[in-house]
Structure 1
Protein backbone atom coordinates (compact mmCIF):
# COMPACT_ATOMS: atom_id res chain seq x y z
CA UNK A 1 0.00 0.00 0.00
CA UNK A 2 1.51 3.30 -1.04
CA UNK A 3 1.18 6.47 0.97
CA UNK A 4 1.01 9.98 -0.47
CA UNK A 5 1.78 11.65 2.87
CA UNK A 6 5.10 13.52 2.87
CA UNK A 7 7.50 11.89 5.34
CA UNK A 8 10.61 13.84 4.38
CA UNK A 9 10.83 15.38 7.87
CA UNK A 10 10.19 12.12 9.64
CA UNK A 11 13.60 11.87 11.28
CA UNK A 12 13.11 14.56 13.93
CA UNK A 13 9.53 13.54 14.71
CA UNK A 14 10.30 9.83 15.03
CA UNK A 15 13.18 10.48 17.42
CA UNK A 16 10.82 12.25 19.82
CA UNK A 17 8.51 9.22 20.26
CA UNK A 18 8.47 7.91 23.85
CA UNK A 19 9.92 4.39 23.66
CA UNK A 20 8.38 3.50 27.04
CA UNK A 21 4.91 3.55 25.53
CA UNK A 22 3.24 0.40 24.21
CA UNK A 23 3.15 -0.28 20.49
CA UNK A 24 -0.19 1.33 19.75
CA UNK A 25 0.56 4.38 21.86
CA UNK A 26 3.87 4.88 20.03
CA UNK A 27 2.06 4.86 16.70
CA UNK A 28 -0.50 7.37 17.96
CA UNK A 29 2.17 9.67 19.43
CA UNK A 30 4.17 9.59 16.18
CA UNK A 31 1.03 10.53 14.25
CA UNK A 32 0.21 13.39 16.61
CA UNK A 33 3.80 14.68 16.45
CA UNK A 34 3.46 14.61 12.69
CA UNK A 35 0.19 16.50 12.91
CA UNK A 36 -1.71 13.94 10.82
CA UNK A 37 -5.26 12.72 11.37
CA UNK A 38 -6.47 9.16 10.98
CA UNK A 39 -8.64 10.30 8.09
CA UNK A 40 -5.58 11.58 6.24
CA UNK A 41 -3.72 8.30 6.76
CA UNK A 42 -6.79 6.31 5.67
CA UNK A 43 -7.11 8.43 2.53
CA UNK A 44 -3.43 8.06 1.65
CA UNK A 45 -2.99 4.36 2.47
CA UNK A 46 -6.49 3.10 1.58
CA UNK A 47 -6.63 1.40 4.98
CA UNK A 48 -9.95 1.68 6.81
CA UNK A 49 -10.11 3.97 9.85
CA UNK A 50 -11.31 0.99 11.89
CA UNK A 51 -8.05 -0.88 11.24
CA UNK A 52 -5.96 2.23 11.98
CA UNK A 53 -7.79 2.71 15.26
CA UNK A 54 -7.24 -0.97 16.08
CA UNK A 55 -3.48 -0.51 15.59
CA UNK A 56 -3.37 2.47 17.95
CA UNK A 57 -5.52 0.62 20.53
CA UNK A 58 -3.60 -2.67 20.32
CA UNK A 59 -6.88 -4.32 19.37
CA UNK A 60 -5.39 -7.22 17.42
CA UNK A 61 -8.77 -8.93 17.07
CA UNK A 62 -9.79 -6.31 14.49
CA UNK A 63 -6.76 -6.88 12.27
CA UNK A 64 -6.93 -9.22 9.26
CA UNK A 65 -3.80 -11.09 10.33
CA UNK A 66 -0.67 -12.42 8.59
CA UNK A 67 1.00 -10.42 5.85
CA UNK A 68 -1.94 -8.03 5.76
CA UNK A 69 -1.37 -6.84 9.32
CA UNK A 70 2.35 -6.37 8.65
CA UNK A 71 1.59 -4.47 5.44
CA UNK A 72 -0.78 -2.16 7.32
CA UNK A 73 1.85 -1.53 9.99
CA UNK A 74 4.45 -0.66 7.36
CA UNK A 75 2.07 1.77 5.65
CA UNK A 76 1.07 3.41 8.92
CA UNK A 77 4.69 3.71 10.06
CA UNK A 78 5.77 5.21 6.76
CA UNK A 79 2.93 7.73 6.92
CA UNK A 80 3.89 8.98 10.40
CA UNK A 81 7.65 9.01 9.81
CA UNK A 82 8.65 5.79 11.57
CA UNK A 83 10.93 3.09 10.20
CA UNK A 84 8.45 0.58 8.66
CA UNK A 85 10.59 -2.53 9.20
CA UNK A 86 11.46 -1.50 12.75
CA UNK A 87 7.76 -0.96 13.46
CA UNK A 88 6.96 -4.48 12.22
CA UNK A 89 9.70 -5.97 14.40
CA UNK A 90 8.41 -4.08 17.43
CA UNK A 91 4.88 -5.30 16.73
CA UNK A 92 6.05 -8.92 16.49
CA UNK A 93 8.20 -8.59 19.60
CA UNK A 94 5.44 -6.97 21.66
CA UNK A 95 2.89 -9.60 20.72
CA UNK A 96 5.32 -12.52 20.58
CA UNK A 97 3.39 -14.38 23.28
CA UNK A 98 0.27 -14.47 21.13
CA UNK A 99 2.24 -15.24 17.95
CA UNK A 100 4.22 -18.11 19.52
CA UNK A 101 1.08 -19.54 21.07
CA UNK A 102 -0.65 -19.76 17.70
CA UNK A 103 -0.48 -23.04 15.81
CA UNK A 104 1.13 -23.24 12.40
CA UNK A 105 -2.06 -24.60 10.80
CA UNK A 106 -4.60 -22.10 12.05
CA UNK A 107 -2.22 -19.29 13.03
CA UNK A 108 -4.83 -18.20 15.55
CA UNK A 109 -4.10 -17.28 19.21
CA UNK A 110 -5.87 -15.64 22.13
CA UNK A 111 -4.41 -13.78 25.14
CA UNK A 112 -6.83 -11.99 27.45
CA UNK A 113 -9.05 -9.95 25.20
CA UNK A 114 -6.59 -10.01 22.26
CA UNK A 115 -7.01 -12.48 19.42
CA UNK A 116 -4.38 -12.73 16.73
CA UNK A 117 -5.61 -14.41 13.54
CA UNK A 118 -3.27 -15.01 10.63
CA UNK A 119 -5.58 -17.12 8.52
CA UNK A 120 -6.57 -15.50 5.27
CA UNK A 121 -10.34 -15.32 5.56
CA UNK A 122 -10.93 -14.76 1.86
CA UNK A 123 -9.20 -18.03 0.92
CA UNK A 124 -11.08 -19.93 3.61
CA UNK A 125 -14.43 -18.63 2.41
CA UNK A 126 -13.54 -19.38 -1.20
CA UNK A 127 -12.58 -22.97 -0.33
CA UNK A 128 -15.77 -23.44 1.67
CA UNK A 129 -17.91 -22.21 -1.24
CA UNK A 130 -15.99 -24.43 -3.65
CA UNK A 131 -16.56 -27.46 -1.41
CA UNK A 132 -20.26 -26.67 -1.08
CA UNK A 133 -20.60 -26.32 -4.87
CA UNK A 134 -18.76 -29.62 -5.43
CA UNK A 135 -21.09 -31.42 -3.02
CA UNK A 136 -24.13 -30.03 -4.83
CA UNK A 137 -22.73 -31.12 -8.20
CA UNK A 138 -22.09 -34.61 -6.87
CA UNK A 139 -25.59 -34.78 -5.43
CA UNK A 140 -27.00 -34.08 -8.90
CA UNK A 141 -24.53 -35.98 -11.08
CA UNK A 142 -24.46 -39.28 -9.15
CA UNK A 143 -28.22 -40.01 -9.47
CA UNK A 144 -28.13 -38.83 -13.10
CA UNK A 145 -25.22 -41.14 -13.88
CA UNK A 146 -27.10 -43.99 -12.23
CA UNK A 147 -30.16 -43.27 -14.34
CA UNK A 148 -28.11 -43.20 -17.55
CA UNK A 149 -26.43 -46.50 -16.68
CA UNK A 150 -29.77 -48.05 -15.79
CA UNK A 151 -31.44 -46.90 -19.01
CA UNK A 152 -28.47 -48.01 -21.12
CA UNK A 153 -28.21 -51.45 -19.56
CA UNK A 154 -31.44 -52.67 -21.06
CA UNK A 155 -32.78 -53.62 -17.61
CA UNK A 156 -36.32 -52.52 -18.31
CA UNK A 157 -39.61 -54.23 -18.75
CA UNK A 158 -40.50 -55.38 -22.27
CA UNK A 159 -42.82 -52.96 -23.98
CA UNK A 160 -45.23 -53.65 -26.78
CA UNK A 161 -45.42 -51.36 -29.77
CA UNK A 162 -49.03 -50.38 -30.40
CA UNK A 163 -50.06 -51.76 -33.83
CA UNK A 164 -52.23 -48.68 -34.40
CA UNK A 165 -49.38 -46.16 -34.56
CA UNK A 166 -50.48 -44.95 -37.96
CA UNK A 167 -54.19 -44.76 -37.09
CA UNK A 168 -55.96 -41.75 -35.52
CA UNK A 169 -56.59 -41.78 -31.79
CA UNK A 170 -60.34 -41.68 -32.38
CA UNK A 171 -60.33 -45.39 -33.19
CA UNK A 172 -60.60 -47.91 -30.32
CA UNK A 173 -57.26 -49.14 -29.04
CA UNK A 174 -56.84 -52.90 -28.74
CA UNK A 175 -55.62 -54.62 -25.63
CA UNK A 176 -51.87 -54.90 -25.17
CA UNK A 177 -49.57 -57.07 -23.15
CA UNK A 178 -48.27 -54.19 -21.05
CA UNK A 179 -51.70 -53.83 -19.53
CA UNK A 180 -51.70 -57.48 -18.65
CA UNK A 181 -48.28 -57.01 -17.01
CA UNK A 182 -49.80 -54.24 -14.90
CA UNK A 183 -52.41 -56.66 -13.60
CA UNK A 184 -55.32 -55.52 -15.82
CA UNK A 185 -57.52 -58.05 -17.54
CA UNK A 186 -58.32 -56.77 -21.04
CA UNK A 187 -60.79 -58.08 -23.59
CA UNK A 188 -60.33 -57.83 -27.34
CA UNK A 189 -62.46 -54.68 -27.26
CA UNK A 190 -61.31 -52.56 -24.28
CA UNK A 191 -64.32 -50.27 -24.50
CA UNK A 192 -67.03 -52.90 -24.00
CA UNK A 193 -69.71 -52.10 -21.44
CA UNK A 194 -68.07 -54.11 -18.63
CA UNK A 195 -64.85 -52.10 -18.99
CA UNK A 196 -66.12 -48.58 -19.48
CA UNK A 197 -64.58 -47.63 -16.11
CA UNK A 198 -61.07 -48.40 -17.28
CA UNK A 199 -58.50 -45.61 -17.61
CA UNK A 200 -56.84 -45.76 -21.00
CA UNK A 201 -53.59 -43.78 -21.32
CA UNK A 202 -51.61 -43.30 -24.51
CA UNK A 203 -48.09 -41.94 -23.90
CA UNK A 204 -46.30 -40.43 -26.92
CA UNK A 205 -43.70 -37.74 -25.98
CA UNK A 206 -42.86 -35.09 -28.55
CA UNK A 207 -39.20 -34.99 -27.52
CA UNK A 208 -36.73 -37.10 -25.55
CA UNK A 209 -38.20 -37.56 -22.12
CA UNK A 210 -37.74 -39.89 -19.15
CA UNK A 211 -41.07 -41.48 -18.19
CA UNK A 212 -42.02 -43.84 -15.38
CA UNK A 213 -45.58 -45.17 -15.33
CA UNK A 214 -47.24 -47.20 -12.58
CA UNK A 215 -50.63 -48.84 -13.16
CA UNK A 216 -52.76 -49.91 -10.20
CA UNK A 217 -49.69 -50.08 -7.97
CA UNK A 218 -47.54 -52.05 -10.43
CA UNK A 219 -44.62 -50.48 -12.29
CA UNK A 220 -45.42 -50.76 -16.00
CA UNK A 221 -42.22 -49.22 -17.34
CA UNK A 222 -39.52 -46.70 -16.52
CA UNK A 223 -37.29 -45.57 -19.35
CA UNK A 224 -36.06 -42.80 -21.59
CA UNK A 225 -38.60 -42.35 -24.38
CA UNK A 226 -37.74 -40.86 -27.75
CA UNK A 227 -39.94 -38.92 -30.21
CA UNK A 228 -42.09 -41.50 -32.00
CA UNK A 229 -42.10 -43.94 -29.06
CA UNK A 230 -45.52 -44.89 -27.77
CA UNK A 231 -46.98 -46.78 -24.82
CA UNK A 232 -50.68 -47.57 -24.41
CA UNK A 233 -51.87 -48.91 -21.06
CA UNK A 234 -55.10 -49.47 -19.16
CA UNK A 235 -55.82 -49.21 -15.43
CA UNK A 236 -58.84 -49.94 -13.27
CA UNK A 237 -58.02 -47.67 -10.32
CA UNK A 238 -55.04 -45.36 -10.68
CA UNK A 239 -52.22 -44.27 -12.96
CA UNK A 240 -49.11 -42.67 -11.49
CA UNK A 241 -46.96 -40.71 -13.94
CA UNK A 242 -43.38 -39.55 -13.25
CA UNK A 243 -42.10 -37.31 -16.03
CA UNK A 244 -38.56 -35.94 -16.31
CA UNK A 245 -39.43 -33.13 -18.74
CA UNK A 246 -43.05 -31.98 -18.64
CA UNK A 247 -42.56 -29.75 -21.67
CA UNK A 248 -41.56 -32.72 -23.85
CA UNK A 249 -44.28 -35.03 -22.56
CA UNK A 250 -47.54 -35.68 -24.47
CA UNK A 251 -50.36 -38.12 -23.77
CA UNK A 252 -54.06 -38.81 -24.09
CA UNK A 253 -56.59 -40.24 -21.63
CA UNK A 254 -59.59 -42.26 -22.76
CA UNK A 255 -58.92 -41.04 -26.30
CA UNK A 256 -59.00 -37.39 -25.22
CA UNK A 257 -55.99 -35.11 -25.63
CA UNK A 258 -54.16 -34.61 -22.34
CA UNK A 259 -53.40 -31.18 -20.95
CA UNK A 260 -49.77 -30.03 -20.64
CA UNK A 261 -48.43 -31.15 -17.27
CA UNK A 262 -45.84 -28.40 -16.89
CA UNK A 263 -43.12 -26.36 -18.53
CA UNK A 264 -39.92 -27.42 -20.30
CA UNK A 265 -37.42 -29.11 -18.00
CA UNK A 266 -39.91 -29.42 -15.13
CA UNK A 267 -40.06 -32.74 -13.27
CA UNK A 268 -43.66 -33.75 -12.61
CA UNK A 269 -45.45 -36.52 -10.68
CA UNK A 270 -49.23 -36.88 -11.09
CA UNK A 271 -51.84 -39.39 -9.94
CA UNK A 272 -54.78 -39.98 -12.24
CA UNK A 273 -57.96 -41.82 -11.24
CA UNK A 274 -61.63 -41.88 -12.17
CA UNK A 275 -62.36 -38.99 -9.82
CA UNK A 276 -59.91 -36.54 -11.39
CA UNK A 277 -59.42 -37.80 -14.93
CA UNK A 278 -61.39 -34.86 -16.35
CA UNK A 279 -58.82 -32.48 -14.82
CA UNK A 280 -56.10 -33.87 -17.10
CA UNK A 281 -57.85 -33.78 -20.48
CA UNK A 282 -58.72 -31.00 -22.89
CA UNK A 283 -62.51 -30.52 -22.82
Structure 2
Protein backbone atom coordinates (compact mmCIF):
# COMPACT_ATOMS: atom_id res chain seq x y z
CA UNK A 1 0.00 0.00 0.00
CA UNK A 2 1.65 3.24 -1.14
CA UNK A 3 1.75 6.17 1.26
CA UNK A 4 -0.40 9.17 0.37
CA UNK A 5 -2.21 7.54 -2.59
CA UNK A 6 -5.70 7.88 -1.08
CA UNK A 7 -6.88 11.25 0.30
CA UNK A 8 -9.70 9.46 2.17
CA UNK A 9 -7.11 7.64 4.31
CA UNK A 10 -5.78 10.92 5.65
CA UNK A 11 -7.58 12.73 8.43
CA UNK A 12 -7.67 16.53 8.81
CA UNK A 13 -5.77 17.92 11.72
CA UNK A 14 -7.84 18.75 14.82
CA UNK A 15 -9.01 22.32 15.31
CA UNK A 16 -6.37 24.53 16.83
CA UNK A 17 -6.79 27.62 18.98
CA UNK A 18 -6.45 31.06 17.47
CA UNK A 19 -3.17 31.58 19.31
CA UNK A 20 -1.61 28.51 17.64
CA UNK A 21 -0.39 28.98 14.06
CA UNK A 22 -0.63 26.06 11.64
CA UNK A 23 2.85 25.10 10.44
CA UNK A 24 3.87 25.39 6.79
CA UNK A 25 3.83 21.61 6.26
CA UNK A 26 0.45 21.15 7.93
CA UNK A 27 -1.08 24.00 5.96
CA UNK A 28 0.07 22.39 2.70
CA UNK A 29 -1.19 18.95 3.75
CA UNK A 30 -4.59 20.27 4.84
CA UNK A 31 -5.01 22.17 1.57
CA UNK A 32 -4.03 19.07 -0.45
CA UNK A 33 -6.56 16.89 1.38
CA UNK A 34 -9.24 19.55 1.01
CA UNK A 35 -8.54 19.65 -2.73
CA UNK A 36 -8.94 15.85 -2.94
CA UNK A 37 -5.37 15.31 -4.16
CA UNK A 38 -2.96 12.51 -3.28
CA UNK A 39 0.76 12.95 -2.73
CA UNK A 40 1.38 11.09 -6.00
CA UNK A 41 -0.91 13.50 -7.87
CA UNK A 42 0.82 16.55 -6.41
CA UNK A 43 4.24 15.07 -7.19
CA UNK A 44 3.24 14.40 -10.81
CA UNK A 45 1.80 17.89 -11.24
CA UNK A 46 4.78 19.72 -9.70
CA UNK A 47 7.63 17.31 -10.53
CA UNK A 48 8.67 17.44 -6.88
CA UNK A 49 9.67 13.97 -5.71
CA UNK A 50 7.22 12.07 -3.51
CA UNK A 51 9.76 11.75 -0.68
CA UNK A 52 10.29 15.53 -0.62
CA UNK A 53 6.51 16.19 -0.60
CA UNK A 54 6.13 13.87 2.42
CA UNK A 55 9.08 15.53 4.18
CA UNK A 56 7.75 19.08 3.64
CA UNK A 57 4.29 18.13 4.89
CA UNK A 58 6.04 16.83 8.02
CA UNK A 59 7.91 20.21 8.32
CA UNK A 60 11.21 18.49 7.50
CA UNK A 61 12.97 20.69 4.94
CA UNK A 62 16.40 19.01 5.04
CA UNK A 63 15.79 16.87 1.90
CA UNK A 64 15.20 20.08 -0.08
CA UNK A 65 18.94 20.76 -0.14
CA UNK A 66 18.89 24.27 1.35
CA UNK A 67 16.57 27.13 2.24
CA UNK A 68 16.58 28.51 -1.33
CA UNK A 69 15.18 25.27 -2.73
CA UNK A 70 12.86 24.74 0.23
CA UNK A 71 11.25 28.12 -0.52
CA UNK A 72 10.91 27.15 -4.20
CA UNK A 73 9.25 23.82 -3.32
CA UNK A 74 6.87 25.52 -0.88
CA UNK A 75 5.86 28.01 -3.57
CA UNK A 76 5.32 25.23 -6.14
CA UNK A 77 3.29 22.99 -3.79
CA UNK A 78 1.15 25.90 -2.55
CA UNK A 79 0.08 26.77 -6.09
CA UNK A 80 -0.70 23.10 -6.81
CA UNK A 81 -3.12 22.94 -3.86
CA UNK A 82 -4.60 26.41 -4.52
CA UNK A 83 -2.93 28.29 -1.65
CA UNK A 84 -1.35 31.76 -1.69
CA UNK A 85 2.38 30.98 -1.30
CA UNK A 86 3.34 34.41 0.10
CA UNK A 87 2.18 33.84 3.73
CA UNK A 88 3.78 30.38 3.78
CA UNK A 89 7.09 31.76 2.49
CA UNK A 90 6.97 34.55 5.07
CA UNK A 91 6.29 32.04 7.85
CA UNK A 92 9.13 29.80 6.65
CA UNK A 93 11.56 32.75 6.57
CA UNK A 94 10.52 33.80 10.08
CA UNK A 95 11.14 30.30 11.42
CA UNK A 96 14.47 29.85 9.60
CA UNK A 97 16.25 33.15 10.20
CA UNK A 98 14.97 35.27 7.29
CA UNK A 99 15.42 35.07 3.54
CA UNK A 100 18.38 32.77 2.85
CA UNK A 101 21.37 33.56 0.66
CA UNK A 102 21.57 31.55 -2.60
CA UNK A 103 23.33 28.20 -2.22
CA UNK A 104 24.88 25.95 -4.88
CA UNK A 105 22.36 23.76 -6.63
CA UNK A 106 24.44 20.59 -6.55
CA UNK A 107 23.39 19.26 -3.07
CA UNK A 108 19.74 19.12 -4.14
CA UNK A 109 20.49 16.46 -6.68
CA UNK A 110 23.13 14.41 -4.89
CA UNK A 111 20.81 11.36 -5.00
CA UNK A 112 20.45 11.70 -8.75
CA UNK A 113 24.12 12.20 -9.57
CA UNK A 114 25.87 9.34 -11.31
CA UNK A 115 29.33 8.99 -12.63
CA UNK A 116 29.44 10.50 -16.15
CA UNK A 117 30.09 7.98 -18.84
CA UNK A 118 33.20 8.20 -20.93
CA UNK A 119 32.42 10.22 -24.01
CA UNK A 120 33.05 8.86 -27.46
CA UNK A 121 35.37 10.53 -29.99
CA UNK A 122 34.41 13.98 -31.22
CA UNK A 123 33.75 13.20 -34.89
CA UNK A 124 32.89 16.81 -35.73
CA UNK A 125 36.29 18.04 -34.60
CA UNK A 126 37.97 15.17 -36.44
CA UNK A 127 36.18 16.07 -39.70
CA UNK A 128 37.15 19.74 -39.35
CA UNK A 129 40.78 18.76 -38.76
CA UNK A 130 40.75 16.46 -41.82
CA UNK A 131 39.29 19.22 -44.02
CA UNK A 132 41.92 21.69 -42.80
CA UNK A 133 44.66 19.15 -43.51
CA UNK A 134 43.40 18.55 -47.07
CA UNK A 135 43.11 22.29 -47.78
CA UNK A 136 46.61 22.86 -46.40
CA UNK A 137 48.08 20.04 -48.52
CA UNK A 138 46.43 21.36 -51.70
CA UNK A 139 47.66 24.89 -50.97
CA UNK A 140 51.20 23.64 -50.27
CA UNK A 141 51.24 21.63 -53.51
CA UNK A 142 50.03 24.62 -55.54
CA UNK A 143 52.62 26.86 -53.87
CA UNK A 144 55.46 24.42 -54.67
CA UNK A 145 54.25 24.12 -58.26
CA UNK A 146 54.37 27.90 -58.61
CA UNK A 147 57.99 27.96 -57.36
CA UNK A 148 59.05 25.52 -60.10
CA UNK A 149 57.47 27.61 -62.87
CA UNK A 150 59.14 30.76 -61.52
CA UNK A 151 62.53 29.06 -61.51
CA UNK A 152 62.13 27.96 -65.16
CA UNK A 153 61.14 31.48 -66.25
CA UNK A 154 64.18 32.93 -64.44
CA UNK A 155 66.53 30.53 -66.29
CA UNK A 156 64.97 31.54 -69.63
CA UNK A 157 65.30 35.21 -68.85
CA UNK A 158 68.93 34.69 -67.76
CA UNK A 159 69.82 33.29 -71.20
CA UNK A 160 68.73 36.49 -72.97
CA UNK A 161 70.14 38.98 -70.46
CA UNK A 162 72.35 41.69 -71.95
CA UNK A 163 76.07 41.05 -71.17
CA UNK A 164 77.38 43.19 -68.32
CA UNK A 165 74.06 43.36 -66.56
CA UNK A 166 73.12 41.00 -63.81
CA UNK A 167 69.52 39.94 -63.69
CA UNK A 168 68.04 40.74 -60.30
CA UNK A 169 65.81 38.06 -58.93
CA UNK A 170 62.18 38.99 -58.62
CA UNK A 171 61.14 39.02 -54.98
CA UNK A 172 58.40 36.58 -54.24
CA UNK A 173 55.71 37.01 -51.66
CA UNK A 174 54.48 33.88 -49.97
CA UNK A 175 50.75 33.21 -50.03
CA UNK A 176 49.29 33.68 -46.52
CA UNK A 177 48.03 30.47 -45.01
CA UNK A 178 44.28 30.14 -44.69
CA UNK A 179 43.17 30.70 -41.09
CA UNK A 180 42.05 27.59 -39.30
CA UNK A 181 38.29 27.70 -38.76
CA UNK A 182 37.31 27.81 -35.12
CA UNK A 183 34.25 26.20 -33.64
CA UNK A 184 31.75 28.80 -32.44
CA UNK A 185 28.42 28.81 -30.62
CA UNK A 186 26.99 30.60 -33.66
CA UNK A 187 27.03 27.21 -35.39
CA UNK A 188 23.82 26.44 -33.52
CA UNK A 189 22.03 28.76 -35.94
CA UNK A 190 22.66 26.13 -38.63
CA UNK A 191 21.58 23.20 -36.46
CA UNK A 192 20.77 20.07 -38.53
CA UNK A 193 17.05 19.43 -38.97
CA UNK A 194 17.41 15.70 -38.32
CA UNK A 195 18.74 16.29 -34.79
CA UNK A 196 17.82 18.27 -31.69
CA UNK A 197 20.42 20.83 -30.62
CA UNK A 198 20.21 22.58 -27.23
CA UNK A 199 22.55 25.35 -26.06
CA UNK A 200 22.55 26.16 -22.34
CA UNK A 201 24.32 29.34 -21.16
CA UNK A 202 24.55 31.21 -17.85
CA UNK A 203 24.92 34.92 -18.70
CA UNK A 204 23.62 36.27 -15.39
CA UNK A 205 24.78 33.76 -12.77
CA UNK A 206 25.70 30.15 -12.15
CA UNK A 207 23.50 27.07 -12.02
CA UNK A 208 23.84 23.32 -11.67
CA UNK A 209 22.59 21.53 -14.80
CA UNK A 210 22.09 17.95 -15.90
CA UNK A 211 21.65 16.85 -19.54
CA UNK A 212 20.78 13.37 -20.85
CA UNK A 213 20.11 11.96 -24.32
CA UNK A 214 17.04 9.95 -25.37
CA UNK A 215 18.60 6.74 -24.00
CA UNK A 216 19.12 8.33 -20.57
CA UNK A 217 22.88 8.56 -21.08
CA UNK A 218 24.42 11.42 -19.10
CA UNK A 219 25.84 14.14 -21.38
CA UNK A 220 26.75 16.60 -18.63
CA UNK A 221 26.25 16.85 -14.88
CA UNK A 222 27.82 19.76 -13.03
CA UNK A 223 27.93 23.47 -12.25
CA UNK A 224 27.71 25.91 -15.15
CA UNK A 225 29.56 29.06 -14.07
CA UNK A 226 28.57 32.62 -14.99
CA UNK A 227 29.42 33.34 -18.63
CA UNK A 228 29.87 29.67 -19.56
CA UNK A 229 27.76 27.71 -22.06
CA UNK A 230 27.24 24.10 -23.10
CA UNK A 231 25.77 22.68 -26.32
CA UNK A 232 24.12 19.25 -26.45
CA UNK A 233 22.90 17.30 -29.49
CA UNK A 234 20.94 14.07 -29.96
CA UNK A 235 19.05 12.27 -32.71
CA UNK A 236 15.65 12.69 -31.06
CA UNK A 237 15.52 14.14 -27.53
CA UNK A 238 17.47 16.09 -24.89
CA UNK A 239 16.36 15.95 -21.22
CA UNK A 240 17.46 18.85 -18.98
CA UNK A 241 17.35 19.60 -15.25
CA UNK A 242 18.13 23.21 -14.30
CA UNK A 243 18.99 23.87 -10.65
CA UNK A 244 18.49 27.66 -10.94
CA UNK A 245 16.43 28.19 -14.09
CA UNK A 246 16.36 31.96 -13.60
CA UNK A 247 20.09 32.16 -14.37
CA UNK A 248 19.87 30.10 -17.57
CA UNK A 249 19.34 31.13 -21.20
CA UNK A 250 18.30 28.43 -23.69
CA UNK A 251 18.59 28.13 -27.47
CA UNK A 252 16.81 25.13 -29.00
CA UNK A 253 17.40 24.24 -32.65
CA UNK A 254 18.78 27.73 -33.26
CA UNK A 255 15.88 29.59 -31.60
CA UNK A 256 15.88 31.35 -28.24
CA UNK A 257 13.47 30.03 -25.59
CA UNK A 258 11.57 32.99 -24.13
CA UNK A 259 10.29 31.27 -20.94
CA UNK A 260 10.66 33.59 -17.94
CA UNK A 261 12.02 31.23 -15.30
CA UNK A 262 12.08 32.52 -11.73
CA UNK A 263 15.39 32.80 -9.86
CA UNK A 264 15.95 29.70 -7.74
CA UNK A 265 13.28 27.70 -9.58
CA UNK A 266 14.10 24.07 -10.44
CA UNK A 267 12.98 23.10 -13.96
CA UNK A 268 12.90 19.73 -15.72
CA UNK A 269 12.64 20.18 -19.51
CA UNK A 270 12.55 17.97 -22.58
CA UNK A 271 13.23 19.18 -26.14
CA UNK A 272 12.82 17.35 -29.46
CA UNK A 273 13.49 18.01 -33.14
CA UNK A 274 10.14 19.80 -33.52
CA UNK A 275 10.82 22.36 -30.78
CA UNK A 276 11.30 25.06 -29.47
CA UNK A 277 8.52 23.96 -27.22
CA UNK A 278 9.07 22.80 -23.66
CA UNK A 279 8.48 19.09 -23.28
TM-score of the superposition, structure 1-length normalised? 0.36
The structure, 1 or 2, with the larger RCO (C-alpha pairs under 8 Å, 6+ apart) is: 2
Whichever of the two has the greater Rg, that structure is: 1
TM-score of the superposition, structure 2-length normalised? 0.36
